[in-house]
Structure 1
Amino acid sequence: MAVYHFGRTTFANNISIGQNRRFTTPQSVLISPDGTVNLRIEVIPAGATSGESVATGRFSSDVNFPINHLTSSGGQYTIRLNNAGFGTAELNGGSVYY
């Protein structure tokens, strides 16, 4: 299994992990928030503009969210983090396991 690490980021609406990088059958996303955040992790198949998602609920410490149930058919995907809370989402970073 490969790992892609992403660094500190701040966003109001959404952000694509790795600037629309494609991941082959991603399994999970580890997110390290700076404060409390509420996100929706959207898993988008290559060539599509939207996909299925996982709601994280509010959290304030490192959590590894499984997404393999959204990628079980295989292929390549981009991953978008959508801010489901108010204001700005601030992350210390995270990792995609694929």
Structure 2
Amino acid sequence: MHVFTEAQRVMDFQKACERNDLKEMGRLMNASHESCRNLFECSCPELDDVVERCREVGCLGARLTGAGWGGCAVALVDSNDREKVGDKLDVLFWSEPSAGINLKYL
């Protein structure tokens, strides 16, 4: 069930990105983590705590990444809230949106 619902979330996330809908992107990230935790069972209490902390300090969404089982979390932060969130979390690194990859088939 996780795999099927995650595939739909990926498509919905792309549409939210195209609309610049940060709130929906955050909601989808949160739903993804809950599905990973509850359906796929690839999280752990410590990682769930990290994700919850991200949400509590102002991240719009957060989810496990790196295959779970104690991996890392990725969080979505409105650029206007970066300083506020950064003061409350130990952020490993920040990244900025990009245009992505443009593939050309020969």
Q: TM-score, normalised by structure 1?
A: 0.25
Which is higher, the Rg of structure 1 or of structure 2?
2
More strand by share: 1
More helix by share: 2
